[in-house]
């Protein structure tokens, strides 16, 4: 979405919730379990298309207001992502307040079990999954108390790591961008810069190399870069993201690290003609999508191209089937092309076109 950063971290949250465009959430649950120390927020933005689906962020928020604001923003983002992915799911998200790395294992398990009981109390209106700070092993614990838990390990009936299909989906978004801009989906001979070669980024690099692209990478972790260059010495390494985005002759920039990659500093110096990557919330603030369009940079909206992961966790509810999921993630190619076509037709940036299409799907579902 273009305006995910709009919810204030203060007592204004309630006013925002009921009266602003960033609000409109159906339900917000504040959870407290004194025995385990759990403090969590579950936000359901919309169940128009089906049960709200979205991950659990475990993060040391500076304040409870900040946690509520983050849950609201993230839940709304999931409504759009799920709608665009063609899933019969609305948007929801949960945040657990705390530092997952500073908590002792036994206490963490108690906390996750208490969290699972809260999710279960919603009776299936919210389906949870992993997010920043929570892992497959954590979802296995949550699942002991709650059947509406995805992101579990294969031993527990889950699909495991979602980064494989997320990378595959981003690759499809890139192929669609190439088709739209250059009339051919192949990335052969194109130069692609990948910033962040962690779980998703390194799978993406493999797809790009298989398709014949020239690849430039950067990462703040040396081990992540070495994992790539040991296998593929032909890959070029940029000193940092700033150097990568200024690389002469770069065709595509793939932000695959943190949010906010597209901002007032980075957009003016991009050499790439396309931005398409896995990171969530790439647009640092509303208006950046217009700055990209003004510079004739084609932006493949983040929540459209990185939906492979949520497609995977949604499938877990029906007994995970990798090939079925891959076929759904392959549709990201057509969805991305449809967004570019709509953007051209309406004379708006692709990010705004994606929002319109997602909002339409939710509105149609509400009318039925």
Choices 10-18, 173-181, 191-199, 263-271; region in contact with ligand NAD by CB under 6 A: 191-199
Q: Looking at beta carbons only, is 38 or 204 nearer to ligand NAD?
A: 204
Choices 9-17, 91-99, 255-263, 344-352; region in contact with ligand NAD by CB under 6 A: 255-263
Interaction with ligand NAD in 333-352: which residues (CB under 6 A)? none
Is residue 309 a contact residue for ligand NAD (CB under 6 A)? yes
Interaction with ligand NAD in 195-234: which residues (CB under 6 A)? 195-201, 218-221, 224
> Tokens 């509810």 belong to which residue?
317
Q: Looking at beta carbons only, is 16 or 224 nearer to ligand NAD?
A: 224
Q: Of 177, 280, 335, 336, which one interacts with ligand NAD (CB under 6 A)?
A: 280
39, 81, 93, 328: the active-site residue = 93
Minimal CA–CA distance to 332: which of 142, 188, 170, 150? Answer: 170
Q: Is 93 a catalytic residue?
A: yes
Residue nearest to ligand NAD (CB): 198
Choices 68-76, 159-167, 293-301, 331-339; region in contact with ligand NAD by CB under 6 A: 159-167
Is residue 82 a contact residue for ligand NAD (CB under 6 A)? no
Least Cβ distance, residue 309 to ligand NAD (angstroms): 3
Distance in angstroms (rounded) separating the CA atoms of residues 144 and 301: 36
Minimal CA–CA distance to 256: which of 298, 309, 211? Answer: 309
Is residue 114 a contact residue for ligand NAD (CB under 6 A)? no
The residues, ordered by sequence, that sit 6+ positions from 231 with a Cβ below 8 Å of its Cβ are none
Q: Looking at beta carbons only, is 17 or 176 nearer to ligand NAD?
A: 176
Least Cβ distance, residue 262 to ligand NAD (angstroms): 13
Count interface residues toward ligand NAD (CB under 6 A). 24
CA-based radius of gyration for the chain: 20
Q: Which residues bind ligand NAD (CB under 6 A)?
A: 162-163, 166, 195-201, 218-221, 224, 241, 256-258, 278-280, 306, 309
């Amino acid at each position: 979405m273009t305006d995910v950063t709009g919810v204030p971290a203060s007592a204004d949250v309630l006013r925002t919730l009921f009266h602003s465009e960033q609000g409109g959430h159906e339900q917000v649950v504040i959870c407290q379990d004194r025995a385990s120390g759990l403090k969590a927020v579950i936000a359901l933005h919309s169940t128009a298309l089906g049960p709200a689906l979205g991950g659990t962020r475990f993060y040391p928020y500076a304040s409870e207001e900040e946690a509520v604001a983050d849950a609201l923003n993230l839940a709304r983002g999931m409504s759009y992502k799920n709608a665009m992915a063609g899933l019969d799911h609305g948007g929801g998200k949960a945040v657990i307040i705390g530092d997952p790395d500073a908590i002792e294992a036994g206490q963490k398990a108690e906390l996750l079990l208490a969290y699972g009981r809260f999710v279960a109390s919603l009776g299936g209106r919210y389906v949870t999954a992993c997010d920043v700070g929570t892992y497959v092993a954590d979802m296995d614990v949550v699942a002991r108390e709650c059947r509406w838990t995805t992101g579990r390990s294969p031993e527990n009936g889950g699909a495991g790591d979602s980064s494989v299909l997320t990378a595959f989906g981003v690759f499809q978004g890139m192929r669609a961008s190439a088709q739209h801009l250059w009339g051919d989906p192949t990335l052969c001979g194109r130069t692609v810069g990948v910033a962040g070669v962690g779980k998703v980024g390194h799978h993406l690099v493999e797809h790009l190399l298989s398709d014949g692209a020239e690849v430039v990478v950067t990462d703040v972790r040396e081990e992540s870069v070495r994992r790539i260059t040991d296998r593929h010495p032909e890959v070029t390494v940029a000193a940092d993201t700033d150097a990568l985005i200024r690389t002469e002759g770069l065709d595509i920039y793939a932000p695959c690290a943190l949010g906010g990659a597209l901002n007032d500093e980075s957009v003016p110096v991009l050499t790439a003609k396309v931005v398409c990557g896995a990171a969530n919330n790439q647009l640092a603030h509303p208006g950046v999508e217009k700055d990209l369009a003004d510079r004739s940079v084609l932006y493949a909206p983040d929540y459209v191209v990185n939906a492979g992961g949520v497609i995977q966790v949604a499938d877990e509810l029906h007994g995970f089937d990798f090939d079925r999921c891959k076929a759904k993630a392959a549709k990201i190619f057509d969805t991305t092309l449809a967004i570019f076509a709509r953007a051209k037709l309406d004379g708006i940036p692709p990010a705004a076109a994606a929002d319109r299409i997602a909002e339409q799907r939710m509105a149609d579902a509400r009318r039925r």
